[in-house]
Amino acid sequence: MTTPKIDIAQQIDKLINLQQVDAIIYKLKSEKQQKPLWIQQLKLQMEDEKKAAEAAKNSFRQLQVSKKEKEIELETKETGIKKLNTQLYQLKTNKEYEAMQQQIGLAHADCSVLEEEILKLMDAIEQEEKNIAKKQKETEQRQQDVNAQIKQIEQQISAIEAELAKEEEKRKILAADVAPKVLSHYERILEGKDGFAMAPIVEHTCGGCHMQLPPQVINEIRLKQDIIYCHICSRILYDKGENNLT
């Protein structure tokens, strides 16, 4: 039993129709693949903002700790001054009295420095508290915006999946009408050529890799007696004059 001769012209036309659908499928799959990356990027940005907010809170807590330490130190100094003042009137010589006065003076100077440092820390704490409140509000708003963007992207993914299912159903019908051997060659090329297994003649060049085609090859393509492949990119070549693949 002889194998029926394949009508090459007819097969080329069918492949062109199939390629149109495959180009859409490839684009949809590429878009779908990118969407989760966008979601991941948004989540990472939020994580960075939350880390920055937490760092600001840690800085605020450290200021509070520093203020408390200075207050304890000041309280200790003031208690010491009170003790020195009590001892002052128990001294018997002028020399001892003057030495104690000098010690009390130095202690008062230390207290003044501590009081100034405490005031500066209080100002810093107040400012940091305002900054944290502002940052918290901005972060909450940003989180709402990110959640809305993620929801929108997820809706886009669902829409892509629905369209993809529709196009893949079309593909099944079209692919079933192509000779198995021809389809096998086509699909093998399709897999490694970014969704484009076919290329039109464009000004005597391959529309896929843009390399010059010999006149003899162009004539063979137009005769449609055999499936002709580009010797550079291996795509199936066809005459765009009769078909228009966009």
- pLDDT of 44-83, one tens digit each? 999 999 999 999 999 999 999 999 999 999 999 999 999 9
Domain ranges of the chain: 29-166
Tens digits of per-residue pLDDT, 175-201?
Answer: 999 999 999 999 999 988 888 999 999
The dihedral sign for the CA sequence 174, 175, 176, 178 = positive
Q: Are 6 and 179 in contact (CB under 8 A)?
A: yes
If one looks up domain 29-166 in CATH, what number appears? 1.10.287.1490
Q: Are 132 and 124 in contact (CB under 8 A)?
A: no
Question: Sorting pLDDT into bands at 50, 70 and 90, what band is 1?
Answer: very low
Q: Quote the pTM value.
A: 0.71
How far apart CA 14 and CA 8 sit, in angstroms, is 10
